[in-house]
Structures are given as structure tokens and as C-alpha cells.
Amino acid sequence: MFILTDVLYKNILNIRQLNIKKGSITCIVGESGSGKSTLIKLLNNLINIDSGEILYDENSIDQIDPIELRRKVVMLPQTPAIFNGSIRDNMLIGLKFSQKPMVKDDVLKDLLKKLKLTASLDKDADLLSGGEKQRIALARILLMDPEVLLLDEPSSALDEITEEIIIQILLEFARDKNKTIIMVTHSKKVVNLISDKIIEIKRGKEIFEGGDVK
Amino acid sequence: MNGAMDLSLWQMAASYLFIVILLIIVKTRGISREREILISSVRMTLQLVFTGYVLVFIFENPSPLLTVAVIIIMEIFAVNNIYKRSKNSLSRSLKRIIAFSMVSGTIFSLVYFLLVVVRIAPWYDPRYFIPIAGMLIGNSMTGISLGVNNMVSNMYTQRLLVESALMLGATPKMAAKEITDTAFDSAILPTINSMLGMGIVFLPGMMTGQILSGTSPVTAIEYQIAIMMGILGSVSLSVILFVQLGYGTFFNERSQLVIEREEITE
């Protein structure tokens, strides 16, 4: 799905060769400041590489329309973005931005239940706790049903039980729909439970690829 | 029609005496603003005396060239004033868009207003052209200035939200929509507010001037209504141009947010 060759980004990243397969779950680990978030931002062209090449589905990323790319390769940032409006508005905003058809309230309610959120759809989303906001932001991108999910620490603000729920949901999403997930995480549990492949970044310079975990 | 009374030298002196009394009060009260009051009074006097003589010269020698030159000078001052009043540093492309929206928005409104509404003849008649241009340019300047400050600071403070929208597949236009909408609101709000208070809370300057000079209040009001339409149009047009073109300078051709920022490596 993604093939990176001789990728250079400032003096943050230097990747000789990296291959991410379709339908796999990849975890990116490494210490703070090693360039993990930078790596996933390269994959949806939120930033440009300085040299080298990134292929998405055999096309060079700089040849693909960036908006189209980001509608297929959707990213969840580390700090969940909450836009003005209700929970409903916030869940639907991804579909709105990517100009996809809206969904009914029932679908939203089911998803909230799955994510163990009990708040009403009309509640002002700004009043939610950090962990709740994180789940709303995740719900939003799951609704978009993209080819690839780029997740930046999706479980950092969650307690253990909620984390397990999120892990299950992501696992289902990848397995049942043959979708690709690439996530930055510090959670050993997430890495151990669902990763097909582990990428360790050390000071951005060296990339260690763990083989198939399972 | 009897014109306004000419103020004698003594009467002018009395108006300064008023400021002197104010200065004494300010001084004894310990409000350390004497300097500012003094400087602004002197500066205003010199500027207006100078402008008075320039206007007398221009009115006595009407020529299209002179009128156009005055408009160009006004526009240059206005655009520079917007740059100077900006709290954040402005990119070169944003400056270009500010200048473009300011000049095209005001000139279009000015031409429409003078040639279609008031129908002055000759078209360069400085007695109409210059004061009316001043009002349109001045108000648009304030409007764009507010819009620029609002947009630039919101782009900085809300960059995570804007970038998140891009991550969800938004076009730059969608991602910046809230910011451009608030910038537009903040820019035209003063004009809207002054229209709401007009005639009840205060009599606008132009109308007051005409009434003082002996014009019938009805005529003065006709002009005032027409000029307010012109001001509203000019402010809105230049601000719309600015926000519609301006947000684009914060994105590059790959639809990435390009704001000077601390590098986020984590």
C-alpha cells in the first residue's frame, strides 16, 4: 500500500526502505521526538518529503491530488480536534469535509454505544472530557470508512478498559473490511495485541522493522 | 443660504485654551498623558492646516491628474497603515492581497458611487471626489485592518483545528471557513454598528458639516444615506476580496498549512 524509498525529511527522518502492506496493522514506536508523527504526516501529504519517494497504491504521492489522498488516507491527530457544535456535528464533520453522504442518527448512536459513550448527540462537544473527545474524533474517522487510518496515539487519554474496546474496534475494522491501519503508539498492550508489524524509529535516522508479529 | 461663520483668531485660540485647561486637569490628577494630548493636538493642527491649503489649491486648479494623484497617495497611505497596524508579521503574498483588495474594492465603489449615484461632472471634480474617496478609503482601511488582525491571529491560534480539517479531507477553503467568516464579521461590524446608531445616537460627521455650512438637513441626509451605502459597499467589497483571497496564502499548492511555527517532531 505504501512504499517508501530513500525518504529524507529535514534532519528528522531518513528512511532507506519501508513497505507497508494493504490490510495490515502497523505500529510505530520510538522515544518522544524521534519523528513518529512526522512519518505519518508524510503518508497523507500533510508535509512534503525533501527527497526520495513515497508510493501509495503504486502512485507517487506528489502526483496524487492531496485532497483526494487525504479522503482515502485519513489521519487522527494526537490532540483530538473538536469543532464548534454538538457531538452529532463533530461526528459528521469528517463526512462533510470529505463530501461523503451523511448518515442517520441511528448509525451515530450505535457507534457511540460501541465506543462506550453515553452522551446525547445534541450535547455540546466542547463539554466532553479528554478521553471522550478522543473517542468522538475516532468515531468521526471510522464513519468516513477510509482505505487507510493514520492514528497518532489513539489511546493516550483512555483508561485500560476503554483502550481494550478501542483495540477491538480497530481490529474489526482492519480484519473485516481489509483496511490498513498505521498508528503511533506508546501502549505496549496495543503493540502486543494487534500489530502485524512494528516499526521502531530511533532518533529518526534508523528504522528497525520488526517482522510479522503474528 | 448662509455659509458657516468664519472663526476668528480669538475664537480659534479659545479652542486651544480648552485643551490647556484639560492639560492642567490631567497634570494635577497625575494621569501621565500630557505628552500624548499635546503631540496629537499639535500634529492634528499642522496636518489640517497643510491639507486645508492643499485642498484650496486643488479646488482652484481642478485637473484629472491632480485628483488621481491624490487618490493614489491616499491608497498608499491606507495600505501602509494596514501593514503597520497589524499585530502579527504579514507574509509578502498576504501584503499583496491586502493592497489589491483595498485598492480594487474602494476604487470600484468610488467610481460607482460618484459616476452612477451622485453623477458628478466633470468626473474628477475634486470638491466631491476627494472627500468622498477619503471616507470610502478610510472606512475600508479600518475594516480590512480588523479583518487582517482577526484572520492572522486565528490562523495561528486555531492551526491545529485547521490542520485537523485537512486531515479529514477538507479543502483549504472548507478548513478555513470559520476563520474567514469571523474575519469578515469583525471587519464589517464597526460599519454596521455605526449605521445602527446613526441619526439617533449621533449625527454623522459629513452630515453635521453640511448642516453647519447651511445646507438643508434634508439634503444633508440624502447625501449621508447615499454615502453610507457607498461606505458599506466599499468596506464589504474590499473585505470580501481580502478574506476570499487572503486565506489561500496560508496554504501551499499541496493544500498544506504553511504557518511559521515551532517544528512539531513528536
Q: Using the beta-carbon criterion (under 8 Å), do B161 and A47 form an inter-chain contact?
A: no
Q: Which domain holds residue B206?
A: 64-263
Note the pLDDT of residue A204.
56
Question: For the segment A48-74, what is each residue's pLDDT rounded down to a tens digit?
Answer: 999 999 999 999 999 999 999 999 999
**High-pLDDT (> 90) share of chain A, %:** 71
Chain B residues lying within 8 Å of A71, measured CB to CB: 169
Looking at the structure, do residues B46 and B147 belong to the same domain, yes or no? Answer: no
Pick from A10-14, B24-28, B51-55 the range whose average pLDDT is largest.
B51-55
Where is the domain boundary, B27, B44, B61? Answer: B61
Asked if B257 and A30 count as a contact pair (C-beta separation under 8 A), the reply is: no
Looking at the structure, do residues B114 and B48 belong to the same domain, yes or no? Answer: no
Q: Using the beta-carbon criterion (under 8 Å), do B265 and A33 form an inter-chain contact?
A: yes
Distance from CA of B219 to the nearest CA of A (A): 48
**High-pLDDT (> 90) share of chain B, %:** 79
Q: Is the pLDDT of residue A151 over 90?
A: yes
Chain A residues lying within 8 Å of B250, measured CB to CB: none
- How far apart are alpha carbons A18 and A207 in whole angstroms? 8
Question: For the segment B186-195, what is each residue's pLDDT rounded down to a tens digit?
Answer: 999 999 999 9
Looking at the structure, do residues B168 and B227 belong to the same domain, yes or no? Answer: yes
Where is the domain boundary, B31, B61, B91? Answer: B61
**Contacts of range B227-230, beta carbons closer than 8 Å, 24 or more positions apart:** B227/B113, B227/B132, B227/B135, B228/B195, B228/B198, B228/B204, B229/B113, B229/B117, B230/B109, B230/B110, B230/B112, B230/B113, B230/B117, B230/B132, B230/B135, B230/B136
Question: For the segment A165-210, what is each residue's pLDDT rounded down to a tens digit?
Answer: 999 999 999 989 999 999 999 888 888 888 899 998 887 565 666 6
Nearest to A70 among B167, B178, B263 (CB): B167
Please state the pTM of the whole predicted model. Answer: 0.85
Q: With CA atoms as reference, report the closest residue to B235 among B99, B119, B143, B107.
A: B143
Looking at the structure, do residues B50 and B181 belong to the same domain, yes or no? Answer: no
Where is the domain boundary, B61, B80, B109? Answer: B61
Q: Using the beta-carbon criterion (under 8 Å), do A83 and B169 form an inter-chain contact?
A: no
Mutate to test the interface with B, among A62, A75, A82, A183 (most CBs of B within 10 A): A75
Arithmetic mean of pLDDT, B196-225: 90
Question: For the segment B76-118, what is each residue's pLDDT rounded down to a tens digit?
Answer: 999 999 999 998 889 999 999 999 999 999 999 999 999 999 9
Chain B residues lying within 8 Å of A47, measured CB to CB: 256
Looking at the structure, do residues B129 and B50 belong to the same domain, yes or no? Answer: no
Chain A residues lying within 8 Å of B254, measured CB to CB: 45, 48, 62, 66
- How far apart are alpha carbons B220 and B234 in whole angstroms? 20
Question: For the segment B32-82, what is each residue's pLDDT rounded down to a tens digit?
Answer: 888 888 999 999 999 999 999 999 999 999 999 999 999 999 999 999 999
Looking at the structure, do residues B54 and B87 belong to the same domain, yes or no? Answer: no
Chain A residues lying within 8 Å of B170, measured CB to CB: 67, 97-98
Tell me the CA distances in angstroms from B199 to B134, B204, B212, B213, B217, one per residue in order: 21, 7, 16, 18, 11
Looking at the structure, do residues B128 and B256 belong to the same domain, yes or no? Answer: yes
Query: CA A206, A210, A214: angle at the middle one, nearest 5?
Result: 165
Predicted confidence band at B265 (pLDDT cuts at 50, 70, 90)?
very low
Q: Using the beta-carbon criterion (under 8 Å), do A46 and B169 form an inter-chain contact?
A: no
Looking at the structure, do residues B40 and B141 belong to the same domain, yes or no? Answer: no
Looking at the structure, do residues B68 and B184 belong to the same domain, yes or no? Answer: yes
Mutate to test the interface with B, among A29, A50, A70, A89 (most CBs of B within 10 A): A70
Q: Using the beta-carbon criterion (under 8 Å), do A84 and B178 form an inter-chain contact?
A: yes
Q: Is the pLDDT of residue A105 over 70?
A: yes
Q: Is the pLDDT of residue B264 over 70?
A: no
Note the pLDDT of residue B204.
87
Backbone angles phi, psi at A17, to 5 degrees: -155, 130
Looking at the structure, do residues B51 and B103 belong to the same domain, yes or no? Answer: no
Note the pLDDT of residue B87.
83
Looking at the structure, do residues B47 and B154 belong to the same domain, yes or no? Answer: no
Q: Is the pLDDT of residue B260 over 70?
A: no
The kind and range of the H/E element at B50 are helix B34-60
Chain A residues lying within 8 Å of B163, measured CB to CB: 46, 77
Looking at the structure, do residues B47 and B72 belong to the same domain, yes or no? Answer: no
Note the pLDDT of residue A209.
67
Distance from CA of A37 to the nearest CA of B (A): 5
Question: For the segment B131-165, what is each residue's pLDDT rounded down to a tens digit?
Answer: 999 999 999 999 999 999 999 999 999 999 999 99
Total tally of structural domains belonging to chain B: 2
Q: Is the pLDDT of residue A79 over 60?
A: yes
A32 Cβ under 8 Å from any chain B Cβ: yes
Note the pLDDT of residue B33.
82
Chain B residues lying within 8 Å of A96, measured CB to CB: 174
Nearest to B170 among A32, A44, A97 (CB): A97
